[in-house]
Structure 1
Amino acid sequence: MIKQFVVPVVKDDSIDAMVTLTLSLEADPSITDRFYAIEPKLRDRFLQVLFDHANSGGFDGVFTESGNLDILRKSLLEVARKDLGDNVTEVLIMSVNRQDV
């Protein structure tokens, strides 16, 4: 279950950069149908986590530092487990790219 997300980084009321992430869920294959049934809701929740991360400065500076990405992974996993339970074991960040405007 791999999905791409685009997140604006806003500074002084304008877009300073765009961050593109590809996320994957490590999960029990038995939840595949349930995942696709709630995918729009899950994407919305993931985007809110990503927006909050961007707004708190999570994509500034050395944003790929492992501790910073661990915080993001944990927040995304909490959201995934709200709908899919403990069948989701991990959220993997497959790629991350920041493009300054």
Structure 2
Amino acid sequence: AAIASACLTMAEQLQSSADKSGTYHFSGAPDTSWAAFAEDIFARTGRTVIVTGISSSDYPTPASRPLNSRLDCAETETVFGIPRPNWGAGLNTILKDLGAPS
């Protein structure tokens, strides 16, 4: 919902101010890894699971992967006034909607 709301805000502002056009990034905060994200999901649902993080170099893919794939959302916040939402709050909502134990 946060990403959809951000897109709507950006679209509305772009309609009245074309000088804001460009390429922007948007994601929740704080920055996290896939492993830490998975650990948080298990912790919030009361499951004791060991998550082993791996580096991109340990996961073979046809395309090379960046060492740091975090999105820089500073310009989106500056230009459109859209702060990065805490992804944890959104995760709680999704887990509740999925019927996960809390």
More strand by share: 1
Please report the TM-score for the alignment, with normalisation by the length of structure 1: 0.28
Structure of larger gyration radius: 2
Please report the TM-score for the alignment, with normalisation by the length of structure 2: 0.28
